[in-house]
Structure 1
Amino acid sequence: MVPLKRRKVVSSETGSKAGDQIKFPQVVLFLLERKMGASRRGFLSELSRKKGFQVEEKFSETVTHVISENNSASEVRTWLDSQVKGQTPSAHLLDISWFTESMKAGLPVQILNRHRLQEQQTPEEEVVAFSVPSYACQRRTTLENHNTVLTDALSLLAENAELSDEEGRGVAFRRAAAVLKSLPEAVTSMTQLRGLPCLGDHTLRVIKDVLENGASSEVESTKQSERYKALKVLTGIFGVGVKTADRWIRERILDLQQLRDSGQTLNRAQQAGLDHYDDLNQPVSKAEADSISEIVERVVVSVLPGAQMNLIGGFRRGKQTGHDVDFLITHPEEGREEGLMPKVVSSLEAQGFLLYQKTTRNSYLESKEGPGRPSSNMDRFERCFSIFKLLKKVKHGEMLTEEEQRKGWRAVRVDLVVSPMSQFAFALLGWTGSKVTFKNPPLCFSSSLKKLKLLLLFLKLFERELRRWAGHERSMSLSSHALFDSQQGRYLRATSEEEIFSHLGLEFIPPSERNA
């Protein structure tokens, strides 16, 4: 039998490398990278192997000694629990001081109490624990966000997942961010998050990283990713979806100038989006939204007297800025709204207000969209997606230069939606949001219906949660058109949002508190 000190270990993904002599087979080390850093961990691992220690690159049940730096015992234990599900690791949890002394001595030193990791001292009376309902439609979420740093980090990871066509991961991050937005105070300790819904292991790791280090390493790495930066720019073009942007990136088109120089054939929407890129990626103020509202409402009423128009989306929830302006139009007399959209669009075009427009017809049929089919993720209303030319107001007597005259207007995204009065309450609820939009939204309005469905899947978190609640908790099917009760086998009518909440067995939440 070969003496133990001369025995060599077979090379593998984990454990010591081939050629390393294992002098202490009863000791298997694992160095925790958290707070230690990858380069320092690599150096210390190599050092310990040269001293005859066996080191595992990945944690497993064979590990006997876990070495950590600047972590408490509870923090390391939480990490270990995430690695070995349902089992309690029996390894010693040791401070880096034990490792340093062992390296100096050239053998494993005796484990003293000062070597063992200490529990984190957090007085329970100083920790404010939170409790919130599972569904966003049960929570009141105002615009006052006490955890912006955390929610911004999660939202960026959600956006990256959505840009990578990973729907499930994106929704998970969005739901987690929505929970944090609803909290009454800032999160300062991980213990405050115990028992909160929608916070998975990945989310908790990101939150912990931000709380302890001021930023998430994963988020910072994502921000620097060439693909992420290119997708942000290219999907910021009106009419460009993720698949188109991804194809351009594979062709090494990474920014607007490269796109202009590439000779790519753009459709009408994409060309308009490229022409007005800067304007469309600037926030729209509430004052600008009100100015557009006055113009559109004047046209709507002139075309159909008695018609009603509502400013919806984020502005209805109380936001002072947005990325587009949405209007919902109806008429008190059912059927009078039919044929309204073409007339409104024609009048706006004749007055020079539309730089681009695409109109879709109403394709919703209650008899087919109800009990026979599951609710769609998108509505089927008559809509007009447009780029609006908003003139800048000039003070009395103010003279503009030729350059100033040329810049005397800005382009704004404006969406018009026409709903029958019988469906108006459902449309108002659905289009109020909250919307989970990209900072530079990828718009697929000129693309196929399938692409548009995929895009809208991400758009309205509050509405998505309402539909999830309806299906899972009430055996109902909710859309922006109607509410169908599967148990009763009939539609439940509503003339207001309050009635819809009542049908669903939910407390009414006003628009200003739907900012999930």
Structure 2
Amino acid sequence: MPSSKRPSNEKLSPSPRSKRRRSYLSDTYTDASSDFQEQSLNVFILDAKMKPETIEELSSLIDNFHHFDKHPFLKEKEGSTQRQLRICSSVKDADVVVTVVQMRKRLERHVDWSIARRKAIVTPSWLRDSVTSRQLLPCGKYAALGELYEQTVRNCPDADCSQKFPDAGSDSEFLQEVSESSDPKHPIKKDSKIRYNHRYACMRHSPLLCPNQGLVERLAILRRHRELEGLDMQALSYERAISVIKAFPHHIIADNIHEVSDLPHIGQKIRSKIQEFIQHGDISECKNVLSETRYRSSVDFTAIYGVGPVTARKLYSSGLRTINDLEKHYEVSPQTNDDIANNLSQGYRLVSSTTGLPQLSIKVGLALREELSLQIPRSEVEEIHDVVMNELAHIRSGCVSTITGGYRRGKAESNDIDIVVSHKDLKCGGDQVKGLCAKLVKRLYDQGLVTHVMHMSSFREHDTLRTTHWDSLEKALAVFILPSHGKEQKHVHRRLDLIFAAPEVYWTAVVGWTGSKMFERDLRLWAKQEKGMKFGSSGISRLHDSKLYFPKSEREVFELLDLEWIHPTLRNADL
């Protein structure tokens, strides 16, 4: 059963002796036998997920810490202050909160977030090491939650201020766009250039679900069929038509079909499909395609990591038709959830000679196909993001991040998780994030959170002369699994994409990785054909002289390209 939220003023009894200690310790008192004043610092032990023996241990440590009267933690001088620890029963009164909880979602069940931001939230190791060293240690190294790292450092009772961060200053603009982008209410202004019949998807509002969603889903089958058959130009034609219909604000019926005929990218062939759908509620070719064994097999095959349309066609030509055939071909036995972990650590591991980490091969993709095909709810996306950023905080402080992809476009469930990471230091942040991707993935792997790596790349200089789309950011495409605790529901493997960008190109990376695919394609096309510029996730440059632009917000990305701002939830130009 899920634990109930504990009121912030609820008393905690970590040991039978805690009441006795609270009865004789005051917040501040003067010891008559010495020349220094002693101040007591309040420690609140959050017992959530904490074993009883751990609670008793921490309680005893605080007790021992108090009794080091002959060994002051600050050098004993006349008028100096000795600071001791005591257990407090309310988190509101605490100077330090000790917890094993490392995710915001879990912490908020017990501590109000506004209170947590005003406290130093540390792991039990802070208390253990402080007692061992007989001094209050800086809290940064022991921050329990990555996203509260700065608050923990700032609110730490230690005397060392070297870790403390200055006020955000100019960085506030760098960070504000994430929260500003969370409001989907952006109606079209009267003088707006945005219109549903525009040629470019980056100049249209494309909602997640449109008035003609049924028609879009049938056309998507034909687009997918062309793609699987290697008919890329035909697939692109259907993709463009779908993006236009997604933005059409009215339900298409016989009375307004003439309006659709005037839309860009709607040719005679597509128009005939639309008319058929209006008359019969379906498209006959879709029925034929769905009944084809070749199409069904290709769809199943390409759902496996490492199998694209070309490989799928080769497998089909060699006589393979089903997933069972594929398992026999690659010598993979049907897996149960209990068997997957064991087999992945034995026969299905292909270690990369570059990273030294297990690679995700077709064999592993087959073993994980059921888990990786499951949709990821928004709550789990957020939980995984919190875990990743918490682990990152142990490697590098001051990092910022944005969850992009379908999550940012408003989808209730995602196929994978995309996280763009940078550093808040606009001047030196580039050096702070360089090489950080590999370090984070290695740490996640050592913690058992990353099981396989599909792809890993390092930073490359932005190539303004390259004519094709190029992403020079540091990236890791991996398989991630949340840790399971006790009798809670077992977690499944998820696809996780980590993208690291220098601060000066952070917002182009956020735009580039938010999607959708057709929105991004037209964004690059607009930049090149209409503005003589090159846009990519790794930067914006001017074509004729290769001048680079470094936007300080997401809105500025649009402004540099002479585009009106389109909210992420209105960039769903694909199905």
TM interval, short-chain normalised: 0.5 to 0.7
Is 2:521 the counterpart of 1:464? yes
- The DSSP-based 3-state class of the residue aligned with 1:357 is strand
Shift of 1:362: 2.4
Shift of 1:430: 0.5
**Which letter does structure 2 place at the counterpart of 1:417?**
I
**Kept in 1: contact 2:261–2:267 (CA 8 A):** no
Q: 2:380 aligns with which of 266, 277, 288?
A: 288
**Kept in 1: contact 2:434–2:459 (CA 8 A):** no
Residue 134 of structure 1 corresponds to 199
Residue 425 of structure 1 corresponds to 507
- C-alpha separation in 2, matches of 1:408 and 1:355: 16
Is 2:444 the counterpart of 1:343? no
- C-alpha separation in 1, matches of 2:261 and 2:196: 9
Is 2:250 the counterpart of 1:188? no
Matches within 5 A, 1:117-156: 132-156=197-221
- C-alpha separation in 2, matches of 1:495 and 1:411: 35
Gaps of 5+ in 1: 1-129, 401-406, 435-459
Residue 42 of structure 1 corresponds to none
Is 2:493 the counterpart of 1:411? yes
Shift of 1:392: 5.7
Shift of 1:264: 5.9
Q: 1:479 aligns with which of 499, 523, 536?
A: 536
Residue 360 of structure 1 corresponds to 456
**Which letter does structure 1 place at the counterpart of 2:503?**
M
- C-alpha separation in 1, matches of 2:234 and 2:402: 34
- C-alpha separation in 1, matches of 2:507 and 2:306: 29
- The DSSP-based 3-state class of the residue aligned with 1:344 is helix
Is 2:466 the counterpart of 1:373? yes
Matches within 5 A, 1:213-232: 213-232=280-299
- The DSSP-based 3-state class of the residue aligned with 1:506 is coil
Which 10-residue stretch deviates more, 259-268 or 248-257?
259-268
Aligned length: 348
Matches within 5 A, 1:29-108: none
Residue 413 of structure 2 corresponds to 321
* CA spacing shift, 1:216–1:349, aligned 2, 3 Å: same
**Which letter does structure 1 place at the counterpart of 2:409?**
R
**Kept in 2: contact 1:131–1:195 (CA 8 A):** no
- C-alpha separation in 2, matches of 1:136 and 1:300: 36
Q: 2:226 aligns with which of 151, 157, 161?
A: 161
**Which letter does structure 2 place at the counterpart of 1:291?**
E
- C-alpha separation in 1, matches of 2:365 and 2:470: 23
- C-alpha separation in 1, matches of 2:569 and 2:312: 35
Q: 1:262 aligns with which of 321, 329, 344?
A: 329
**Kept in 2: contact 1:222–1:228 (CA 8 A):** yes
* CA spacing shift, 1:223–1:215, aligned 2, 3 Å: same
* CA spacing shift, 1:373–1:286, aligned 2, 3 Å: same
- C-alpha separation in 1, matches of 2:568 and 2:277: 31
Q: Deviations over 1:49-71 (max 9, x none)?
A: xxxxxxxxxxxxxxxxxxxxxxx
Residue 555 of structure 2 corresponds to 498
Structure 1 moving runs of 4+ over 4 Å: 263-268, 391-394
Residue 249 of structure 1 corresponds to 316
Q: Deviations over 1:438-473 (max 9, x none)?
A: xxxxxxxxxxxxxxxxxxxxxx21110011111111
**Kept in 2: contact 1:359–1:382 (CA 8 A):** no
**RMSD value, Cα:** 2.0
- C-alpha separation in 1, matches of 2:323 and 2:473: 33
Matches within 5 A, 1:366-405: 366=462, 369-370=463-464, 372-374=465-467, 376-391=468-483
- C-alpha separation in 2, matches of 1:153 and 1:507: 31
* CA spacing shift, 1:228–1:472, aligned 2, 3 Å: same
TM-score, normalisation: structure 2: 0.58
Is 2:303 the counterpart of 1:236? yes
Residue 511 of structure 1 corresponds to 568
- The DSSP-based 3-state class of the residue aligned with 1:134 is coil
Matches within 5 A, 1:5-16: none
- C-alpha separation in 1, matches of 2:323 and 2:470: 30
- C-alpha separation in 2, matches of 1:174 and 1:295: 36
Is 2:300 the counterpart of 1:300? no
Residue 26 of structure 1 corresponds to none
- The DSSP-based 3-state class of the residue aligned with 1:330 is strand
* CA spacing shift, 1:195–1:253, aligned 2, 3 Å: same
Gaps of 5+ in 2: 1-194, 333-347, 351-359
**Kept in 2: contact 1:392–1:410 (CA 8 A):** no
* CA spacing shift, 1:170–1:393, aligned 2, 3 Å: farther
Shift of 1:246: 1.5
Shift of 1:378: 4.0
- C-alpha separation in 2, matches of 1:364 and 1:198: 36
- C-alpha separation in 2, matches of 1:250 and 1:193: 40
Shift of 1:391: 4.3
**Kept in 1: contact 2:196–2:244 (CA 8 A):** no
TM-score, normalisation: structure 1: 0.64
Shift of 1:243: 1.8
- C-alpha separation in 1, matches of 2:567 and 2:206: 10
**Which letter does structure 2 place at the counterpart of 1:244?**
T
Residue 278 of structure 1 corresponds to 370
